[in-house]
Amino acid sequence: MQRILITGGLGFIGSNFILYLLENEPGLHIDNLDKLTYAGNPLNLKHVEGDARYTLIKGDVADRELVERLLGENHYDAIAHLAAESHVDRAIQSSAPFVLSNVVGTQVLLDAALKHSVPRFLMVSTDEVYGSLGPAGEFTEQSPLAPNNPYSATKAAADLFCRAYFVTHKMPVVISRCSNNYGPRQFAEKLIPLFIHKALHDEQVPVYGDGLHVRDWLYVEDHCRGLWTVLRKGQPGEVYNIGGGTEMPNLELVKLLLAKLNKPESLIKHVPDRPGHDRRYALSQDKIQRELGWEPQVSFAEGLAQTISWYRENQQWLNAIADGTYQQGY
């Protein structure tokens, strides 16, 4: 049985990735290294804690002694590095935790993986490292890195560390960069779950500025398929964009959510724009489609319907985040 290490597996994308692998890859054993910060939700994987193919390891990816011991004691066939501080607003308030987790944590993991000759290393990154687009065009893997906020700057730094380890040490690192994810188990500070939660409670939903910031939306299960494809088939040293192919201004998305929830648009409240707010993201999928045969399978209409349905049926999950009880016992 192959053994892989996933970092940050109690987060939104990480937990969905683990569930996808447990369901579709029975020959895998998964070790999940997670620090259990505020965004690491134990409820996300509560129902697989008894699965013999899954092990949760509480720890910080920036803890060099822990990471060294973990990789020394276990033979890993691959590492998928998803652990990261990711909320832009929090990074604007204080960037230090982002540097420690996203930059130092990546460097610590790279050092240990290099020492123990891990044969595959996937760095899960973001389209935000490219900065902001104008009204037309798409980012490709050759687009220059131009991060505009502290969060995206730390992710760009981590990407460059990975590139340097490939060039310098011939380490088998591959990088994926995704567009905005949505779907079940997303922490409720992010746009879609936040607005669903507020709308269900008839609270005002805050929209930054004029609400015309455009994002490309990717259903999280499609992203998980993409990550597994890149991890298995991606060429070392290469970058692969994983986009959803659905661009939409935030204001249009909010109005769509309110309509789906049968709530009035009067709940929308425009608030001052945040500093360094990128105007538009869009990712070209040509490379991953051409070289690896991946493309999104879930339409935005289908994915949004499934997402709304999940949050409707799991309001206790949302409420546990709101009152902080989701981390009790951990």
Whether the CB-CB separation of 175 and 240 falls below 8 Å is answered with: yes
Catalytic residue among 127, 159, 222, 238: 127
Measured CA to CA in angstroms, residue 66 lies from 1, 35, 84, 100, 151 at distances of 24, 12, 17, 15, 25
Whether the CB-CB separation of 295 and 147 falls below 8 Å is answered with: no
Catalytic residue among 31, 60, 85, 128: 128
Rounded Cα distance between 276 and 149, Å, is: 6
- CA angle, residues 293, 296, 301, in degrees to nearest 5: 165
- 151 is known as an active-site residue: yes
Whether the CB-CB separation of 128 and 91 falls below 8 Å is answered with: no
- 128 is known as an active-site residue: yes
Whether the CB-CB separation of 62 and 108 falls below 8 Å is answered with: yes
173 alpha-carbon distance from chain centroid: 18
Catalytic residue among 54, 76, 130, 151: 151
Catalytic residue positions? Answer: 127-128, 151
